[in-house]
Chain A
Amino acid sequence: MAAQYCCNQPMLQPTTTNTILPDELIDDILLRLPVRSLLRFKSVCKSWKTLITHPKFANIHLRSSTAAEDTSMANKQLIFLTKIEPYVILTYHLKQLFENPSTCAEPVISSFLKMKKYGIYGSCNGLLCLFDRSQCRLKLFNPSIRVKSKKSPQVFPPLDWTMRYYGFGYDQINDKYKFLVVLKDYDNGETLTKIYTFGEDSCKTIQNFPCNFICF
């Protein structure tokens, strides 16, 4: 990644104080900062705010922080949604848990209104997929920046079906996040497979989805 930003043009004689780094080197430094610092540094100046807010920057930041070569677990987190008062999302940094197993780790707490209704039904690229079981609606939550999406349309009528299998993932080709659920009606043995693409108005049904599971 560093190679992309190398500048091979001769520069003016640098002064020993008041150094000004070129943009590509500032980028290289910013990409190595944790999200929390980046959000704080939006206040530094307008151009930093523009850079940090840009989706392209977020993508590069995500790719470099989830790179296979990073064995330090520096960016891995363990996340819980408490099912008792107060209903919050607790985030533990994996590195801390492994480095000092005998000490109590401090979680970061984040929450939003009406968290009680939700369960965590998947995670991908730092996003949590939350599902409201009573209304059968989905919501995405990014605990790193503490931003939640609007609710999705109803995925399926809650009373008619039981959720057997589900999954949340990222469609790289279309740059969309999707939630898939295999439903069963225990009264008549019917199965139904639905897929929801976040951002759309409705769910799609998948016909003939292979689901011959032994324990089904």
Chain B
Amino acid sequence: MAEEKSQASSSKMLTLKASDGVLFEVELNIAKEMKTVQAYIDDCEDIETIPIPNVLGKHLAIVIEYIKKTNEEYDAEFEKQWNMDDLQLLLLAANYLNISGLQECLCKAIAKRIENKSPEYVRKVFNIENDHSPEEEAKLRKEYKWAFEGVDKD
């Protein structure tokens, strides 16, 4: 990433301010990987501090680290450190900041974690209320009985 940018732009620093007030000084070319931030810079060239109102400092730090280090190896290990809640918050951050590589990495990770889980587990993960009637649910479970075999215990 750094090699593509000119000497002048890669040394310019920018400040990002997370929702809880934590400040991050990042190089311009790192910040530009967040397309939302890029759009901000395009609109106001002289800006030095950019507010990121939807992302906590804790998650912004992780996102910035990801942008700096991303490669196949890093991505493969990246998601293992975070619990499901953090993964979802990081996904919201990646989506808001418009970083497609990170969004894809996180979606893949979340999908992998729920792949062999029960519907009850999935409802808890995504805070979804079960609005199927008991009859409907029983019908679905019967129709796809084979898809419920070997599912991880909750």
Contacts and interface: CB of A to CB of B under 8 A. Distances in A.
Interface of A: 2-3, 5-8, 10-11, 13-14, 16-22, 25-26, 28-30, 32-34, 36-37, 39-46, 48-49, 110, 146
Interface string B94-109: 0110101001100110
B100 A11 contact: no
The 5 closest A-B pairs by CB, nearest first: A32-B111, A43-B119, A40-B147, A39-B147, A19-B88
Interface stretch (B23-31, B64-72, B123-131): B123-131
Interface in B81-122: 85, 88-89, 91-92, 95-96, 98, 100, 103-104, 107-108, 110-111, 114-116, 118-119, 122
B151 interface: yes
Interface in B32-54: 36, 53-54
A2 B104 contact: yes
A33 B111 CA distance: 6
A2 B53 contact: no
Interface of B: 19, 36, 53-54, 56, 85, 88-89, 91-92, 95-96, 98, 100, 103-104, 107-108, 110-111, 114-116, 118-119, 122-123, 126-132, 137, 140-141, 144, 146-148, 151
A17 B85 contact: yes
A8 B40 CA distance: 12
A37 B36 CA distance: 33
